[in-house]
C-alpha cells in the first residue's frame, strides 16, 4: 500500500487537476466517471486522468488516501475535492468555477455557464 500511496501523492502533487476514474477521459467506463470527465472536458480543463481499473492497488489506494469510498475522485492542486455528486453540485452552483479561479486553473467560463443554463 505504501507504493500506491507514494504514487498517488506524486500524481496529485505533480498535476494541477487529477481525476481518478474508471476508464479514461476519452473512454470513461462508468456513468459517474463519465459525468465528471464530461464536465471537465466540456469546460476545457487540462487534467490528468488515472484509470483505477488498470491497477487494483491504486483503485483501493485512492479510497484509503482520501478516506472516500467511491470513484471518481477529483483533486485540484493536491487537495481532494469530491466525487460525482459533489462535482455536479459545485458545477451547477458555480463553486467549481471559484475553485478553479482561486487555484489558477484555466477553464472555459462560457462552457461552465452553458452547463448551468442547460440544467436550470
List residues forming the annotated binding site for [2Fe-2S] cluster: 30
CA-based nearest residue to 48, from 77, 71, 70: 77
Write out the binding residues: 30
Phi/psi at 91 (nearest 5 deg)? Answer: -65, -50
Residues 6 or more apart in contact with residue 67 via CB below 8 angstroms: none
120 vs 94: CA distance, rounded Å: 12
Instruction: Tell which residue, 46, 51, 42, 39, has the closest CA to residue 17.
Output: 46
Rg of the Cα trace of the chain?
A: 14
Amino acid at each position: 500500500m505504501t507504493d500506491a500511496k507514494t504514487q498517488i501523492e506524486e500524481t496529485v502533487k505533480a498535476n494541477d487537476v487529477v481525476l481518478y476514474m474508471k476508464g479514461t477521459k476519452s473512454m470513461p467506463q462508468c456513468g459517474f466517471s463519465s459525468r465528471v470527465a464530461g464536465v471537465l472536458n466540456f469546460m476545457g480543463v487540462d487534467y490528468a486522468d488515472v484509470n483505477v481499473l488498470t491497477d487494483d492497488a491504486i483503485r483501493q489506494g485512492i479510497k484509503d488516501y482520501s478516506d472516500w469510498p467511491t470513484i471518481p475522485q477529483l483533486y485540484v492542486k493536491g487537495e481532494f475535492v469530491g466525487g460525482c455528486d459533489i462535482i455536479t453540485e459545485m458545477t451547477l452552483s458555480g463553486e467549481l468555477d471559484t475553485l478553479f479561479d482561486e487555484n489558477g486553473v484555466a477553464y472555459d467560463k462560457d462552457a461552465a455557464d452553458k452547463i448551468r443554463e442547460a440544467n436550470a
